[in-house]
Amino acid sequence: MASPCKNSRRPFTVCIEGNIGSGKTTFLNNFKQFNNTMVLQEPVELWRNVKGMNLLDLMYKDPTKYACLFQSYVQLTMLQLHTMKSPLPYKVMERSVYSARCFIESMKRMNVLEDVEVTVLEEWHKWSITHAVIETDLIVYLRTTPDIVYKRMRARARKEEKLVSLEYLEQIHQIHEEWLYHKTLFNVPAPIIILDADQSMEEMFVQFEKCKTRIFESCGQSERESRRLTSPVSSPKFGAASD
């Protein structure tokens, strides 16, 4: 794999991972203040409007019919983010094709997907990670407890997530833990920084500052080189209404 640091032809790529409501978007948005980083938010809006159809909503309302289609579209849109070119030395993404697989695993465990649907999605996943240019240099795992993310999710009240139960978040948590904490489930494609993301937004901002320094230093760019833009980003928010 080509070196992702100075003089490299590709950016040092960081994926922000964690349960639903763990604060990925907020964490990611903090990077928008730097002029050396391409920030790629998860394409939830695309999932909500596929030629006028809200696929996220359909998936929650009728998973047996729509889960496979939805996960197929998630994989496509995540691949589009991975392969997006950037002249900047850093790229920070919300989630990845790797964590999309956590949801496939969850649907498999809940018997929402038929065996043949799992096979097709997993074949797609395998092909993507083998053939597409999706190099990842670092994973930041925002580790949370399900009770806390459940409260945050209820507070932000995304209308499609009305049907999401605490049990579902426990399962998604468990799968992330098996993948990134215990490292027993899937391949972990890069080194991991694990952060306690149960904390308040102020405490998370402090964690962000430390993490950001590690990221920029790991690629040989000093703080000075990763200049902040003149207009600062707004203060981080958890549980803000997303729609």
Burial class (CB in 10 A: 0-12, 13-18, 19+), 118: middle
Region binding ligand TTP by CB under 6 A among candidate stretches 13-21, 184-192, 206-214, 225-233: 13-21
Q: Residue 46 and residue 68: Cα distance in Å, rounded?
A: 16
Q: Residue 42 and residue 179: Cα distance in Å, rounded?
A: 20
Q: Which is nearer to ligand TTP, 5 or 205 (CB)?
A: 205
Q: Residue 233 and residue 201: Cα distance in Å, rounded?
A: 14
Q: Is 141 in the site for ligand TTP (CB under 6 A)?
A: no
Residue whose C-alpha is closest to residue 77's, from 103, 95, 61, 91: 95
**CB of 96 vs ligand TTP, minimal distance in Å:** 9
Q: Is 103 in the site for ligand TTP (CB under 6 A)?
A: yes
What 3-state DSSP class applies to 222? coil
Q: Which is nearer to ligand TTP, 159 or 227 (CB)?
A: 159
Q: Which is nearer to ligand TTP, 4 or 21 (CB)?
A: 21
**CB of 113 vs ligand TTP, minimal distance in Å:** 12
Q: Residue 51 and residue 54: Cα distance in Å, rounded?
A: 9
Region binding ligand TTP by CB under 6 A among candidate stretches 4-12, 14-22, 181-189, 199-207: 14-22
- Tell me how many residues contact ligand TTP (CB under 6 A): 16
Q: Is 18 in the site for ligand TTP (CB under 6 A)?
A: yes
What 3-state DSSP class applies to 131? helix
Q: Is 100 in the site for ligand TTP (CB under 6 A)?
A: yes
Q: Is 17 in the site for ligand TTP (CB under 6 A)?
A: no
Q: Residue 34 and residue 22: Cα distance in Å, rounded?
A: 23
Map 153-203 to HEC letters. HHHHCCHHHHHCCHHHHHHHHHHHHHHHHCCCCCCCCCCEEEEECCCCHHH
What are the tokens at 237? 């928010």
What 3-state DSSP class applies to 86? coil
Q: Residue 100 and residue 18: Cα distance in Å, rounded?
A: 11
**CB of 233 vs ligand TTP, minimal distance in Å:** 15
Q: Is 169 in the site for ligand TTP (CB under 6 A)?
A: no
Q: Residue 15 and residue 90: Cα distance in Å, rounded?
A: 11
Region binding ligand TTP by CB under 6 A among candidate stretches 3-11, 23-31, 79-87, 200-208: 23-31
Query: Is 94 marked active-site?
Result: yes
Q: Which residue among 39, 161, 173, 179 contacts ligand TTP (CB under 6 A)?
A: 161
Q: Is 95 in the site for ligand TTP (CB under 6 A)?
A: yes
What are the tokens at 50? 């596929």
Given the residues 17, 42, 45, 94, select the one marked as catalytic: 94
Q: Which residues bind ligand TTP (CB under 6 A)?
A: 18, 20-25, 42, 44, 56, 71, 74, 95, 100, 103, 161
Q: Which positions are annotated as active-site residues? A: 94
